[in-house]
Amino acid sequence: MFGYGQILVKWVVLVVASGIASASGAGSGPLLLADGTSVPHVRIAWTEGDGSRVEYSLDVPLTSTSDRTVLGRNLEVFVALGGSRLERGAGHPDGAIVRVGLFKTDRDLLFFEDIANGSSVEIELRNVRFNQDVTPDPETLLQRLRYRVDDVEACGLTIDQTEMFNLASDHDDMGGSILPSQARYSSLVIEHDTDGESGEPRQGVARSSVWVEDDGSVSMDLVLPYRLLRHKGDPWALEVPGTFFEPFHFDVEFQVLPREVAELEGVEMPARPSESDAAGTTESAQR
Rg (the chain; Cα; Å): 21
pLDDT of residue 237: 86
Strand order in the sheet with 188-190: 53-59, 41-47, 120-128, 218-225, 206-212, 188-190
pLDDT of residue 196: 54
pLDDT of residue 29: 76
pLDDT of residue 199: 54
* Chain centre distance of CA 236: 27
pLDDT of residue 201: 52
pLDDT of residue 190: 75
* Of 231, 218, 226, 216, residue with least CA distance to 183: 231
Using DSSP bridges, classify how beta strands 188-190 and 206-212 pair: parallel, antiparallel or unpaired. parallel
pLDDT of residue 276: 42
pLDDT of residue 273: 87
Q: Which residues of 33-67 are buried (b: 16+ CB within 10 A; e: fewer)?
A: ebeeebbbbbbbbbbeeeeeebeeeeebebeeeee
Please state whether 152 falls in left (phi above 0), alpha (psi between -120 and 50) or beta: alpha
pLDDT tens for the 287 residues of the chain, in order: 334 344 333 333 333 333 333 333 345 578 999 998 999 999 999 999 999 999 999 999 999 999 999 999 999 999 999 999 999 999 999 999 999 999 999 999 999 999 999 999 999 999 999 999 999 999 999 999 999 999 999 999 999 999 999 999 999 999 999 999 999 999 998 765 555 555 555 555 789 999 999 999 999 999 999 999 999 999 998 999 999 999 999 999 999 999 999 999 999 999 988 744 544 444 443 33
